[in-house]
Amino acid sequence: MPRLTLRTLLAYIDDTLDAAEARELGKQVAESEEARLLVERIKKVTRRRGLATPVASDPEDETADPNTVAAYLDNTLDPERVKELEEICLKSDVHLAEVAACHQILTLLLTEPVRVPPRAHRRMYEIVKPPASIPNRLPNKKLPVVGPAPDSEADEAETTDAAFLLGMKRYSSSASLAERVVLFATAGVLLLILTTGVWMSLPRPDPAPPISSPGLSYARLQPPVAPPDLPPKDQEALPPQEKDPAAVVIAPPPRVIDEDSPPVEPKPGLGQPILPASIERSRPIAQIRSTRTLVVTQPPDTTGWQRLRLNAEDAEPIMPTDPVMALPGYKAELVIDRRVLLTLWGNVPEQIQHHILESRVTLHIPPEGYDADITLLAGRVYLKSERATGAKVRIRLASEVWDITLTDDKSSVLVELISWFQPGTTYNRQGGAQPRREGRFAVAFGSAQFEATGNRFVKLGTIDAGHQVTWDSVKNTLSGPIAIAPRDYEILLDINPINPLTGELHREVTRLLTFMADEVKTRAAVGPVVKNFVGPQLPPEIPVRDRDLLARLAIYAHAAMCNSTEEGSRGLRVLVDVLRSESPWLARQAVVTALVQWVARDVGNTALLHNILMDKGLSEREADRLLVLLRSYISPINPDSEKLDGLIQEGSNGEPSLLGDPEVAIREAALWNLMVARLGSWVPLPLTVNVGAVGAKVGSEEYRRFLAECKKWIEEIKRRKPKVP
C-alpha cells in the first residue's frame, strides 16, 4: 500500500499511479482532512499567476536548487533532505508550486511524447553559444522530447515547411497509403464544413413579413412618424424626455408564428428561436379544472373572447394555438394532456402590487420527448407535474425558449413575463422604442432543471427551491440562479397561487370576482357582463359599498380583453369615456393603471391608443401629453425632481401644471405618476394613500393642501440629491 507523502500525492493528482495504488491512496486522502486540504492547495498554487521561482535563503540552502528538486522527483534524494524539502514545501507556496509544476511537466513529457518544431528547436539552441551547443543541428523527425539520440542526423528536407509543423506530422512520400487516405479525407471534411458554413451565412429573403414585435400584437405597423412640431409654448408644456436607454436594439425581434403559415419543425440554432413543432388544431390539448373563475379563449372562428367553463359532466376542451387567458385577479388551473398542471395567475393591484394583471398563454402540441409546449404571452404561470416521474416542458416567452424539467410531482416552478416602458423612453406617436420585457423562472417547491435554447444555449442544471433565473430584453442575457429574498419568496413568488394574500380587502376582492364570474351565464356573455360593470352606470342591485371596487376590477378585465389590433382596441373607448368622466376617482385611476399596462404590451399600441383618443375628442397635443404620462413617465425607484416639478408647478409663461390641466384624463395620469413616486411602486394602489385628499375636487381647499404636501416632499428630494452642474 502506498504511503501518504507529498510525492505520492503528486503522483495521485497527475494520475501516474496504477489502478490499485490509486484506489488505496484515494481512500487515504478521503479519510484525511489534511490530505484533502493539501490536494486543494497544490491545485490552487499551480494555477496561481505571479509566483516567483524559489530563492535560496542562505548559501547552504539546497532546497531551491533545481538539482535537488530533480533528485526528489526521481526518488534519489537522501531521506533527511527529502524530509527537509517536504517541510519547506508545506510552508512555502513558491516551493510547493515549483515541485508540483515540475512533476506535472515531467508527467506530460514522459506519458505523451511530442515533437519539437525545428524552428523552435534551433531557437532554443541558439541561446547557448558554441561550442556548448550546435545551433545548426536539426532534430530528428522521429525524436521525442525524451528518449535516446538517433544514430544519424535528420534530412535537410525537414526544414521545407518547418514553420507550419507546430509539432504535427508532415506529409511525405514515405507515408503509407492508409495515412494518405486519412489525410485527404480529413481535408475534404474540413472543406465541406467550411463550404456549408459560408452557404448558411448568405442572406435569404424572409418567407413572411415580420410583425410589430414578439408581444401580443398581430397588427402591421406603418413606419414610425415623429410627432408634428408644436409651437414653442406648447412644446415647453410637454413633459421633458430623456434619451431612451433601450434605443439600441440588440437583435431584430423574432417572428411570431401566424396560424395560417405551414407547420415548421423545430430546428435549434444559434440566433434562431425554436418554433413550435406543430401549429395544428387536430385534437384537444388541455382542460380547465377550476370553477367560478373567468378563463377565456378566442378560437379563430370567433370575434370575441369566449368563456371556458367546467361543466358538471366534463370540462370544455382547449385546442392548440388558441390563446387562453385568466382575467385579472383570477387564478385557474389547466391540465395539459393529463401530464402537466398549468396554473394561470391573474392579479390585480388590490391583491399584490405587481406589474401583472392578466395571464395569457398559447398551448401547442409538444414535440417528441416533451410533455407540454407553452407560449407565455403575458403574466405569470405555475407548472407542476401530474405524474410522479416528473415532466419536461418547453416554454416560450418573447425571444426566449426555455426547457424546464420538473423532477417529480412535488416540484413546482413559476414563469412570468412582464412588459413596461423604462422611464425616459423616447416617445413617438407611432410607438418609438420597444417596451422592455422581463422574464423570470423561479422554483417554488422541490427542484427543476433549466436549459435555454433557441437564441442561446445555456444549461444551468438542477435549481433548488427558493432560487430564480431572470432575463430582460435590454441586456438580453440570463442572470442566475440566485437566491430569492425570504420576503419576496413568500409574497412576490406567491408560493400558494390558489390562495394568495389574506385580509379584509382580499376577501372583498375575492367575493366580487366570484360575483362577476357567476354573472356570466353563457360562453359569449363575458364581454357584455364585464362592460356592464365598467363605469358609473352599474346595475341598481349592486350595493353602494361594492360599486367602486367592482368597477375597478371590471376595468382591469375589460382592458385585458382589448386585443392589440385596430378592431380589438376599439373596446378602449369605454375606458377613455370613464377616464374623462365625473366617475369616482378610484375608477379613473384604475383606467390609468389598465392603460399603462395595455400600452406596454406592444410597441404598436401607442399608435392604436392615440387614434382612440383623437376619435374621443382630444387634440393631438393632449393625446401626446397623455401618452407620454402613460409610458412610465416617473420612476418610483429614483424619481426625477424636474419631472415631479412638471407635474405640480405652473410653467414660467403661466402654463398650468399637468395636475392643473383642463383635460381630466391628463390630470388623472399626472396624479397616477405622482402616486408612483410617493408610494415607490410601479403599480400604485390609491387605497394606500389619503383617499379624501387625493380624491377631492380639483381646486378645493383639501386638494390644495395635498399639493402643498407634495411640493414639500419634492423639495426634500432635491435636497437629498443635489443637482450636478
Judge if pTM exceeds 0.85.
no
pLDDT tens digits for range 301-354: 777 888 887 664 566 788 888 899 999 999 999 999 889 999 999 999 888 888
CA 707-710-716 angle, to 5 degrees, is 150
| Among candidate residues 627, 694, 691, 632, the one with its CA nearest the CA of residue 659 | 694
Angle at 695 between CA 690 and CA 701, to 5 degrees: 90
3-state secondary structure of 184: helix
Per DSSP bridges, beta strands 286-288 and 331-336 are: antiparallel
Q: How many CB atoms lie within 10 A of CB 33?
A: 9
In 3-state terms the chain splits into helix, strand, coil percentages (rounded to 5) of 40, 15, 45
Helix axis angle, 66-73 to 93-111, nearest 10°: 60
Cell of 165: 509543423
In angstroms, rounded to a whole number, what is the distance separating the alpha carbons of residues 303 and 561? 11
Grid coordinates belonging to 285: 390539448
62 grid coordinates: 539546497
State residue 633 phi and psi, 5-degree precision. -70, -40
Contacts of 572 (CB under 8 A, 6+ apart): 559, 562, 595, 598, 609, 612
Q: How many CB atoms lie within 10 A of CB 323?
A: 17
Report the alpha-carbon distance of residue 461 to residue 83 in Å, rounded.
Answer: 45
Give me 696's grid cell.
377631492
CA-to-CA dists, residue 716 to 105, 639, 641, 703, angstroms: 67, 12, 10, 20
Mean pLDDT of successive 10-residue stretches along the chain, which has 725 residues:
79 82 82 85 82 72 79 84 85 86 82 71 79 70 50 46 51 65 84 83 49 33 35 38 34 34 38 58 83 88 81 72 92 90 91 87 91 92 92 91 91 92 81 85 91 80 90 87 81 54 75 89 87 78 82 91 89 89 81 91 89 90 89 83 80 74 86 83 74 64 78 80 47
Residues in the chain, how many? 725
CB-based contact 306:299 (threshold 8 Å): yes
Q: E strands along 429-585, which residues?
A: 436-445, 447-453, 458-464, 467-472, 478-483
Q: Are 389 and 204 in contact (CB under 8 A)?
A: no
Compute the distance between CA of residue 250 and CA of residue 236 in angstroms, rounded to an integer. Answer: 33
Backbone angles phi, psi at 412, to 5 degrees: -140, 130
DSSP state of 681: -
Distances (CA, A) of 326 to 296, 350, 367, 685: 6, 16, 25, 21
Which residues contact residue 211 at a Cβ distance below 8 angstroms, ignoring those fewer than 6 apart?
217, 218, 219, 220, 255, 256
Q: Within 13 Å and on the Cβ side, how many CA atoms surround 113?
A: 10
Quick one: pLDDT at residue 302? 77
Q: Is 448 helix (H, G, I), strand (E, B) or coil?
A: strand
Domains defined for the chain, CATH in brackets: 6-111 (no CATH), 286-490 (2.60.120.1440), 503-720 (no CATH)
Q: What pLDDT shows up at residue 652?
A: 66
293 with 310: CB under 8 angstroms?
A: no
Place of cell 416602458: 421
For residue 147, what pLDDT is reported? Answer: 47
Contact 216, 601 (CB under 8 A): yes
Which pLDDT does position 557 carry in this prediction?
92
The whole-angstrom separation of Cα 162 and Cα 143 is: 15
DSSP 292-308: SS-EEE--TT-SS-EEE
Q: Which amino acid, residue 688?
A: T
From residue 386, alpha-carbon distances to 285, 288, 406, 692 in Å are 15, 14, 10, 50
